[in-house]
Amino acid sequence: MAINPSKEVSATPAKALPAFGRFGRDDRGATAVEFGLIALPFFALLFAIIETALVFFAGQALETAVANSARLIRTGQAQQLNFSASDFRNDVCGQVMALFDCANKLVIDVQTFNSFASINLAPPLDADGNLDTTSKYVPGSGGQIVVVRAYYEWPVIVQMLGLDLTNMANGTHLMSAAAAFRNEPFPW
């Protein structure tokens, strides 16, 4: 009995073709595979958006707290009540304590100047690009020009592809708020 080789060769691809065809048409795991491909970029983008919103919200809260607390200096209330640097810091922190670690990271600087033209404030960074935590608290007297500055190092969590919010050498985001004004002519 002779074996027909053409019959065997044609039978093998015919049996294999339906198996590959079924595999090609099977889409039961397509959603899981597609989700696996886009999950990491999707969640990274989602968390980056949330973090950016938190940074802007916290920055605005710091601006508002500095403006409100600076009003105490401008109207002479802080001077009349003999506010110390820690009292002024506590007043600012009382308005943003849910967002910030005021005890360790908030730096407040209050300085007086003779004129608005003489205001020359250097960036609050040391030579290594880190926040210089030395500050002054000089609220001034009636009619003096005062600049109140507050700085906070916000920790940045989402850092991807160099597109992050860091602007400090240690990988944090420096938030700042300032208020410049002339004290009212209070008599004390």
In the chain, the number of structural domains is 1
87 occurs within a structural domain: yes
Cα torsion for 131, 136, 142, 146, to the nearest 10°? -20
Q: Which domain holds residue 91?
A: 31-182
Cβ–Cβ under 8 Å, residues 42 and 53? no
**Inside any domain, residue 109:** yes
* Residue 12 belongs to a domain: no
For residues 105 and 165, the model is more confident at 105
In a domain, 43, yes or no: yes
Q: What is the full DSSP assignment across 65-92?
A: HHHHHHHHHHTTHHHHTT--HHHHHHHH
What's the pLDDT score for residue 84? Answer: 96
- pLDDT over 70 (residue 32): yes
| Average of per-residue pLDDT across 170-175 | 90
Among residues of the chain, what percentage have pLDDT more than 90? 53
Give the Cα separation of 106 and 95 in Å (integer): 13
168 domain residue, yes or no: yes
What's the pTM value of the predicted model, to 2 decimals? Answer: 0.78
